[in-house]
Amino acid sequence: MPEPERKQHPVIAGLVALVGVGLAIGLLAGGGALVATRVLGLDAAETATDSAARQSMYLPQPEKTTASAPSTQATQTAASEPTGPVFTTKTPDTGISLQAGQTTVSPMQRIDLTGTYVGGEGAVLQVQRATGPGDSWVDFPVTVTVSGGTFSTYVQTGRAGPNRFRVIDTDKEQTSNEVTVTIG
51-75 residue pLDDT tens: 444 455 566 677 777 765 544 444 4
Distances (CA, A) of 134 to 48, 129, 131, 137, 182: 46, 12, 8, 9, 17
At 2 the pLDDT is 65
Q: Are residues 102 and 154 in the same domain?
A: yes
Higher-pLDDT residue of 9 and 5 is: 9
Same domain, 50 and 92: no
3-class DSSP assignment, residue 34: helix
What is the pTM (predicted TM-score) of this model? 0.51
CATH of the domain at 100: 2.60.40.10
Q: Each residue of 101-119: b (16+ CB within 10 Å) or e?
A: bbeebeeebebbbbbbbee
Domains: count for the chain: 2
Are 22 and 109 members of one domain? Answer: no
- Asked if residue 100 has pLDDT above 90, the reply is yes
Parent domain of 105:
87-183
Quickly count: other Cβ atoms within 10 Å of residue 94's Cβ. Answer: 18
Confidence of residue 147 (pLDDT cuts 50, 70, 90): very high
Whether residues 91 and 168 share a domain: the answer is: yes
CA of residue 144 relative to chain centroid, distance: 14
